Amino acid sequence: MASQRCIPFFLSLLLILVLLCIACTSQELGFCRAYIGYIKTVKDFMFQDSDLFTDLALVSTKTFDVDSFGAKGDGKKDDTKAFKKAWTEACSSTTTAVFNVAKNKKYLVTPIRFKGPCKASLTMQISGTILASTQQSKYKKDERHWLRVDKVENLLIEGGGVIDGNGDIWWSNSCKVNKTLPCKDAPTALTLYKCKTLMVNNLTIQNAQQIHVSFDNCENVQVSNLQVTSPKDSPNTDGIHVTHSQNITISSCVIGTGDDCISIVSGSKKIQARGITCGPGHGISIGSLGSKNSEAHVSDVIIDGAELTKTSNGVRIKTWQGGSGNASQITFQNINMKDVKNPIIIDQNYCDQSKSCKEQDSAVEIINVTYQNITGSSADKDAITFDCSKHHPCQGIVLQDINLTRENNDGTKAICNNVELTYVGTVIPRCPKDTIHDQPIFRTYSYH
């Protein structure tokens, strides 16, 4: 408690701090930080229960508001230049920086690359809406990305705002929607590329041109409280995509799009997802893997706690014929399905192209996959499908405490081709007797 007698001292400290702030803004800054450290020590000693000094110490954080770099935020004027300038300044700040996008405004922007490395840790505070320009000519230079953050470490992206890909025009130009058009990729709304120690929290990402958020070559990432939405008929609009990344935790996200809620593809390991609400969409996927005879590796994946509603798949592993490598150490657990087609599916004959895929001997192998405590309702009779490769059967598959039924109590069944399978506890439905090879019980794999 600051007693009466402390007040003059308190005021003089305040004065020193104000002078210090002036010094800080005009000079760079090593001594300044040390000084703030010193002030904090004084504060800790004098006023243990006051937050005032902590707040004042935050003067070492600088805010770069896109508005002060000329952004209008009226949803009409192109604010790209202001965003670029604000980013350049924020990224070269030697003290903690905040790149700020104000609340209750809508900023129209064309593709932007937020390039790192930056000099200090950084927050992108997105409280307003960032809306994608639909001017297709602006995407010529890089057709795969709209907002792309490159090689930034110690980054926090948050703020409760909206990233809107404004995707209609891209969807209607998709060959999946208009069969007369050639197939080509549309931009990913938000790409984190080669980022390390990254948190993405509390944002809405909607109507992406194609993928909503992609983690590409990233490490040590925490993703939470995202709301990811686009219409259920929007083509290839994956929610959260993970590629060539490791140590990624995705939690408490609500995802409903036209494609996979979460897709985890080659080069990814140590991926966890918890508390996922998914639907509409194509469910939670590992893959597709091994397209065009490629080598793929995915391992140490846990999907723990999910509710899927009216999706076209539940938990899926999909590989093309002709690939190599393996997907291993995968657990899907504590998942509830509501009216889901293909609640549990491994598809090693995946073929997402107009002409049929030819039969090939090689395959991305699928090894050690545990399904545990998966319940709820299947929209189709076939609640479990293991369509594995003839030459590379799925190995180490465990079904434990599974109960997938149909709304009308019609009974469900399992399709099981080339799978080495173990049952633990009650499993409904089970494979027809003659199709499975029993094997010793594999331990549930878990990654901590």
Ligand X SMILES: *[C@@H]1O[C@H](CO)[C@@H](O)[C@H](O)[C@H]1NC(C)=O
Q: Which of 282, 300, 304, 392 is catalytic?
A: 282
Nearer of residues 78 and 401 to ligand X, judged by Cβ? 401
Residue 157: strand pairing partners: 124, 200
> In angstroms, what is the minimal distance from the CB of 296 to ligand X?
9
Q: Distance between CA 178 and CA 181 in Å, rounded?
A: 6
Smallest distance, Å, CB 203 to ligand X? 8
The Cβ of residue 195 has, within 10 Å, a number of other Cβ atoms equal to: 26
CA distance 369 to 371: 7
The residue (of 261 and 335) whose beta carbon lies closer to ligand X is 335
Q: Which is nearer to ligand X, 110 or 370 (CB)?
A: 370
Pairwise CA distance, residues 347 & 60, whole Å: 53
- Least CB distance from residue 173 to ligand X, whole Å? 8
Is 282 a known active-site residue? yes
Instruction: Show the tokens assigned to 198.
Output: 């990254």
List strand residue ranges (DSSP E) for 341-439, in order: 344-350, 365-378, 382-387, 394-405, 413-417, 419-428, 436-437
Minimum distance from residue 158 beta carbon to ligand X (Å)? 7
Q: Which residue is nearest to ligand X (CB)?
A: 160
Annotation marks residue 392 as catalytic: no
Q: Which of 259, 260, 300, 382 is catalytic?
A: 259
Helix or strand or coil: residue 133? Answer: coil
Nearer to ligand X, 86 or 253 (CB): 253
- Displacement of CA 396 from its chain's centroid (Å): 28
Nearer to ligand X by Cβ, of 164 and 365: the residue is 365
Query: Please, are residues 207 and 234 in contact by the beta-carbon 8 Å criterion?
Result: yes
User: Shortest approach of ligand X to residue 299 CB, angstroms?
Assistant: 6
| Of 440, 400, 432, the residue nearest 415 (C-alpha) | 432
Binding interface with ligand X (CB under 6 A): 127, 159-160, 172, 178, 180-181, 202, 220-222, 225, 247, 297, 299, 325-326, 328-329, 334-336, 365, 367-368, 373, 375, 396, 403, 405, 426, 442-443
Distance CA 281, CA 304 (A): 19
Active site positions, annotated: 259, 282
